[in-house]
Chains A and B, each alone.
Chain A
């Protein structure tokens, strides 16, 4: 039973991180119908920025929790800035181009950011210090759940609440929903569509950065390539839940996290990534609209 609990909580951890990344995919897709291939790299940039900030601040000798908070803020700021810039440079000029063009452009951005970090930093795995304090009340359950996992669950839940509030109740959220429904119509009623799209990229990148910092301190190492596989898996999660739907993204992430965790725990860990891809292929073939998605019809 303990083993089951361990896998269950491990799956919840994975799922939470996937959710933080998948939210960005789903929001961007909802608004401009673009699979933002570079999203995984934004997450990786967040983790790298955090690592650099942590290293610099550790040498200055600050308090551990303060360092962690400052690093998280730095990661969020920089990831958002990268997301914003990528949108301005690579996607905005292609708003009216055929659908394939922004997709290829996004692949270009993804490849560019990977190689940029590879060249400017290193290709090795870098150790990422775990600054999350050990909670005392967890001592009894030490073998099953770690305090970094608790932090991941809580943070993800808080982010979800904030995002839901943002989209449901603020003016900007209303503008986002309007743009997602019909961009031209939103423009006609006075929504600044460009600003809304930029804002979406910024919010998506910020949540991804948070995911990057949390998972990096949980796993303990990063390199320039972590964004690719995490990005693909988060995309699988977003599709599973129904791309364009935020509750769907979270649900899909949790389902993917748990299935992956149980699959590797009970069956085989060699084929972990194969399994995620197979899952994606099966969903897309049998239920392309996802669990909570709606089916659209193409218009001429």
Chain B
């Protein structure tokens, strides 16, 4: 009886979705020649697809509900298999070593094309880790993150054109400028509540892009800036292949540095303040944490990494234009953080690698890339809001003498 009911429910869902997608999926109008093509096979695909998916959807919802009940009964709080594996030093240390060795020999065993893709993925790793500070730790939804990335990229390009500065001088300057932008933009808007903040940061991101596009005298407009030099190595002349490998190693170094800093920050006083702020703003203020300062530091630090990423991006592609810095880039980085796991370093790294590398190796799906990411964003939020690898809440234990209370 229940099975019959389930089938009936799914059937209704599939009819509903067939109705819903009918005009846009099935009918295609050629407005110039005034002809219509009917694509009925798509309707069947939608029907069958939604019929099957609705089963999965309801099953997952049910599982989530029982999971929630378990947690309520006190059986929750268990670590998942992945997390337990990671906390086991017998697995963790060799795995770390293997990753390090792989990262070191990677450029010598794979083609230039693949090294290039990996460098891009690593840029997104640091962008993800930077945004993770803002979204994952401090709980501020920043939709204009790409603006700071643009600031980094343009500061390298423009400083090179006007003052002839090189990559290594620009890396800290770009990061610093992005940080300053973060503070300047953050100062007025951080008093706003969560969802307003999202819209205002989105607005700022778009303002920066539109200014770059329209202010020709400053940014060379939509045509962008070309011939940005790749980083130099003690004045040696590098071939393109060598300099790509060089950039790859620079990126690996920056990623390692980022992981180190973010880990340290997370457990520091300011990191715990961020997490407290994310959980409850009012209660956090009541414990004496300066809200503005804490938010501003998260915003500024996040921006710093975006600036660094921007400088490397400009150096790697040697060409930048405003089209690289649209709102969808911000959403993409947000996807990385959300899918990977907000607040979890390993999760964000994995998220970046998966989101950047998968589309490269599955060309057949590249057309549907954004569609799938968008669906994943919704599905993740509904079923697994903590991401692929959720952040482990650190437990602090009091190690003094408290026998009386326990006895």
Residues of A within 8 A of B (CB): 33-35, 45, 48-49, 51-53, 55-56, 58-59, 74, 78, 81-82, 85, 89-90, 93-94, 97-105, 107-112, 114-117, 119-122, 126-127, 228, 232, 235, 239, 270-271, 273-274, 277-278, 280-281, 284-285, 288, 298-300
Asked if A99 and B194 sit within 8 Å, CB to CB, the answer is yes
Q: Does B371 contact A (CB under 8 A)?
A: yes
Q: Does B368 contact A (CB under 8 A)?
A: yes
Main secondary structure on chain A at its contact with chain B?
helix
Main secondary structure on chain B at its contact with chain A?
helix
Q: How far is the CB of B3 from chain A (nearest CB, A)?
A: 23
Asked if B204 and A277 sit within 8 Å, CB to CB, the answer is yes
Asked if A52 and B29 sit within 8 Å, CB to CB, the answer is yes
Q: How far is the CA of A93 from the CA of B381 in the complex (A)?
A: 9
Asked if A285 and B20 sit within 8 Å, CB to CB, the answer is no
Q: A119-B367, A281-B203 are in contact. List 13 more A-B contacts (CB 8 A).
A: A55-B34, A59-B36, A78-B23, A85-B16, A85-B17, A90-B378, A100-B135, A100-B139, A105-B381, A120-B25, A120-B28, A239-B199, A274-B207
The list of the 10 closest CB pairs from A to B, nearest first, reads A108-B377, A112-B374, A111-B374, A277-B203, A108-B378, A55-B29, A105-B381, A115-B371, A285-B188, A115-B370
Interface stretch, picked from B149-157, B278-286, B306-314, is B278-286
Q: How far is the CB of B372 from chain A (nearest CB, A)?
A: 9
Asked if B29 and A56 sit within 8 Å, CB to CB, the answer is yes
Residues of B within 8 A of A (CB): 16-17, 19-21, 23-25, 27-29, 31, 34, 36, 42, 61, 135, 139, 141, 143, 188-189, 191-196, 198-200, 202-204, 206-207, 210-211, 214, 280-283, 327-328, 331, 334, 338, 367-368, 370-371, 373-378, 381-382, 385
Asked if B198 and A35 sit within 8 Å, CB to CB, the answer is yes
Given contact pairs A90-B378, A90-B382, A277-B207, A107 touches B20 in the complex (Cβ within 8 A): no
Given contact pairs A56-B36, A298-B281, A101 touches B381 in the complex (Cβ within 8 A): yes
Closest to B376 in A: A108
Given contact pairs A35-B195, A48-B24, A93 touches B61 in the complex (Cβ within 8 A): yes
Chain A residues with CB below 8 A from B281, complex form: 298
Given contact pairs A108-B381, A285-B188, A103 touches B375 in the complex (Cβ within 8 A): no
Asked if B371 and A116 sit within 8 Å, CB to CB, the answer is yes
Q: How far is the CA of A53 from the CA of B27 in the complex (A)?
A: 9
Asked if B385 and A101 sit within 8 Å, CB to CB, the answer is yes
Asked if B23 and A107 sit within 8 Å, CB to CB, the answer is no
Closest to B21 in A: A120
Given contact pairs A81-B20, A117-B24, A126-B31, A108 touches B206 in the complex (Cβ within 8 A): no
Asked if B23 and A104 sit within 8 Å, CB to CB, the answer is no
Asked if A82 and B338 sit within 8 Å, CB to CB, the answer is no
Chain A residues with CB below 8 A from B202, complex form: 232
Asked if A107 and B334 sit within 8 Å, CB to CB, the answer is yes
Other-chain contact of B368, A45, A93, A119, A277 (Cβ < 8 Å)? A119
Other-chain contact of A120, B24, B195, B373 (Cβ < 8 Å)? B24
Other-chain contact of A108, B36, B191, B280, B375 (Cβ < 8 Å)? B375
Asked if B368 and A89 sit within 8 Å, CB to CB, the answer is no
